[in-house]
Amino acid sequence: MNNNRSQISGISRTTHMIYIAMFTTLIAIGAFIRVPVPVCPFTLQFLFTTMAGLLLGGKRGAASVGIYILLGLAGVPIFAEGGGISYIFVPTFGYLIGFMIGTFVTGMLAGMPKMKSFGFLIFSNFVGLLIVYACGMAYYYVIGNYVIDSPIGIWPLFLYCFLLAVPGDLVLCVVAAALTVKLRKILGETLS
């Protein structure tokens, strides 16, 4: 009986590792899929990081983003502007940190018992989105003003790094919630 239980958990662990790897790959691909909208085109990274949290849960979703970040810092050119350890000095690196934290929080909120309605999934996504932008903008400001000597003021930061960029991500919050509802109907709760 104990041997059977370890086989079941081994299959489950393997399945979870496959899902984590799958979302790591989707996040990497999402960095290069640009949606051409006027003023501020955006990528699909946020869609895949959010869905990682919604479908895999907070810890596993954040693990998929963390692996993506580690691969990029190790030199695999999977970030939107390349890769390598020097990427930590790119002002937008804070958004990657925000993706990992936001994915964790989104997954934890969406995984709460009796909180799996479409509306609550959207709310969870919005919370994750706020975390992504808070981390991204704070990092951008610090790196730009104090590390790489490329100063940016508060208003331009807010305009270019939030106001112009957030509409597309708000749409992705709704899309991620809708896709999650559909996928949960097909797959059940097997991913989380």
The model's pLDDT over 141-187, given as tens digits with 9 standing for 90+, comes to 999 999 998 899 999 999 988 988 899 899 999 999 999 999 988 87
Q: How far apart are CA 63 and CA 192, in angstroms?
A: 13
Q: What is the pLDDT of residue 144?
A: 93
Q: What pTM does this model have? A: 0.89
pLDDT along the chain (192 residues), means of 10: 48 87 96 76 90 95 98 94 93 95 96 82 96 96 93 91 89 95 78 62
Residues forming beta bridges with residue 34, ordered by sequence position? 43
β-pairing, 42-43 vs 34-35, is antiparallel
Q: Are 181 and 148 in contact, with CB atoms under 8 Å apart?
A: no
Q: What is the pLDDT of residue 120?
A: 93
Could you tell me the two tokens for 31?
């960095």
